[in-house]
Structure 1
Amino acid sequence: MKKIVSLLICLSFSLQIFASKVDTLVVHSKSMNKEIKNVVILPDSYSKEGKALSVVYLLHGAGGDYKAWLGKAPNIKALADLHNVIIVCPDGEAKSWYFDSPIDETYKYETYISTELIAGVDKNYNTIASHKNRAITGYSMGGHGALYLAFKHTDVWGVAASMSGGVDIRPYALKWGIPDRLGNYSEYPEHWEKNSVINLVHLLGDKKLKFLFDCGVDDFFYEDNKRLHKKLIERKIPHDYIERPGRHDGPYWSNSIIYQMLFFKEFFTQETK
């Protein structure tokens, strides 16, 4: 316990000073035929010719864009330095929900994030191009997106997390632009069933994915996250779950990312031993 407290104290001091560099990487999406901007945060230690680094992908919520994380949790720049990782914040548009839309061919954000962006980052930066050195997380819509993409692509990400994630979209059939991506629930119920994270746990099976999800007890997604936790327990699927005081807001996510980055760092360290 003393060791953990000491680590968090050191972490608190470390977050006050950072020297990371913020880039904007433009990636051409062949699947959507457009250029997409992404924030890339490079730790102070980064060198194109030096040691290759692990990469953490952070997805934004509904209404956000590729700069949203810098506003919601500016401490991520310090976290890149502290954990010596590259952080990538993609643009998933305001309400993509990170699907390949079955009704709108202009929205293929699953393909973009899991294939096109990964290739672009690995091509342009000195990364360890392996699922064992890639993590993904996000808040709200991005929390849904992180688990959705990781569950479906365990060959791309070895570790994942979600904070305040919309892990079951079915109760929100009229909100946040989801019908624009999947169609109306009354007309296309199968789209909603097949694309809710809570219905994708069967994809894990014997596949190895280390993952964590957390949610504040005053968050409107809290009950959905509890149900996902219960389902995973019933299926005996290993995972970490945290609930604590907090709402669906920036202060919660800025705090949550500190713990999730420790979770990712532990995974990267174990995988490279």
Structure 2
Amino acid sequence: MCRTSCQGYSEPNSGSDLASLSTRAVLDGDEWVINGQKIWTSSAKSAHWMFCLVRSEPDAPKHHGISFLLLSMKTEGLDVRPLKTMTGESFFNEVFFTDARVPKDQIVGQRGEGWAIANAILKHERDGLGDPDVTLSRLNALTDLMKEETVNGQRIMDNPIYRDRLMALQGEIMALRFNDLRLLSANIKKEQLPLATMIVKLQGTELRHKLEGLAIDVLGEHGILYEDSPHLRNEGTWQNDYMWFLGLIIGGGTNQIQKNIISERGLGMPREPRNK
């Protein structure tokens, strides 16, 4: 039987600054008692399990006071509420914890080690959000669309402005694919390329958003149609993905935060001033 999971990371006041999360877990005998709220939890309504970040050490520095717990979505005290997005779907959810009890042995690692574990998982998530092979497949579909769509009897592909925009996207995708091959080679050699890894999510999501946006421009007035219009092209996937990737520019660690990480950790630039 297939088992799915969701991740309980973000909170209403802890998104970009995830380490400030406030969902509490207090050990009571052989159980953790959890109280708090998570938000933007993908697939929480259908998932069987959640891996959840909780503050278990309230007196420790914020990055060292977080633990990583596994819990069943049937746990008493969990309330999952779907959130409708601008795509019209309810893929994301709010999750409320009210004295939810979880066996104490359902902790991954040790108490206070949750931040390191979560960052390892986020690395794989961010890599997946910027998959250059999927983007290349989407570019090929866009190329076909530009050969099919016409304006005043002229193919869009024969319009130099649109063709230049397509070629610019093609160049960016080639660069992203070469970076992906560099990461593959480094992985085979067991080498670390932190800067090359950091740019994948940033470049990949922004590139997909631009690509889907060009498709909407190519469609002209059909590009503004949505949902169940009988005149939709490609079942509305261009419009849906355009808005979906706008969301992914924010999700999985906002691209603005990604730029800070790249500049500070990848390029060694001075840290962003913090409010005291």
TM-score of the alignment, normalized to the shorter chain, above 0.5: no
Q: More helix per residue: 1 or 2?
A: 2
Structure whose CA Rg is larger: 2
